[in-house]
Amino acid sequence: MAFIHETTMTPGKLELLAAWLPARPWYAGSLDAPALSRSGGFRLDDPEGAVGIEFMVVTDTSSGAPVAYHVPLSYRGAPLDGADRALIGTSEHGVLGRRWVYDATRDPVAVGQLLALLQGRAEPQHQSRSDTPDTSVVSDFTGDGASALVALTSVEDARHGTDVTVEAKPHGALTIRVVRVLRENQPGTGDALGSVTAEWRSPDGGRSRGPFAVLTA
């Protein structure tokens, strides 16, 4: 399980995201200056221990009504080949040194672990505590067996979120829809093979729950 260091990142995650979010097609806040706060999330372990994987929720209040955004992130100790468009930025970690921070929907290690989570094969971890499973994150899989990621074939951002198409063995092409704008009681997908639901905090201290990702054939 991943060890969470009690240290700093410079620039911080919110600072990196404030510069990156306004260009996303699913972002609905102020294009000038997002007003972001941390609102929840969880982590997944990389079996090889090389890539940090975090499913972060940030709330933006720049346009009045708060909007919760789901932002999967991956952290690497060196650039990911061919992933310049996925780079959110670099940051100096107080213990690990320079980290390359990526949109995890375009990182094959992170996508492989998200597929495993959707199929109930990966255990979600607490966002800020080492070696602590997060039992509030729930996977619901109704497919006919697990699939192993072979390749990440396409990623498309749209107003509804991000569709990640993968080639998986033995089931062939599968699509992971990453929900970007989080809402309670968001309608499900009728042909879904699996889903992941989790919690996030609202600015008034309340808790909401909804889907973070959905798997379809």
Domain ranges for the chain, please list them: 9-216
Q: What pLDDT sits at residue 2?
A: 67
Nearest residue to 25 (alpha-carbon basis) of 203, 162, 154, 174: 162
Q: What pLDDT sits at residue 6?
A: 78
Examine the pLDDT at 148 and tell me if it is beyond 90.
Answer: no
Residue 108 and residue 153: Cα distance in Å, rounded? Answer: 10
Which DSSP state fits 198? E
Q: What pLDDT sits at residue 204?
A: 85
Residue 187 and residue 120: Cα distance in Å, rounded? Answer: 21
Strands (E), 14-121: 36-44, 52-60, 67-76, 87-93, 97-103
pTM of the model: 0.94
Locate tokens 């720049």: which residue? Answer: 62
Tens-place pLDDT, residues 11-45: 999 999 999 999 999 998 877 889 999 999 999 99
Which DSSP state fits 117? H
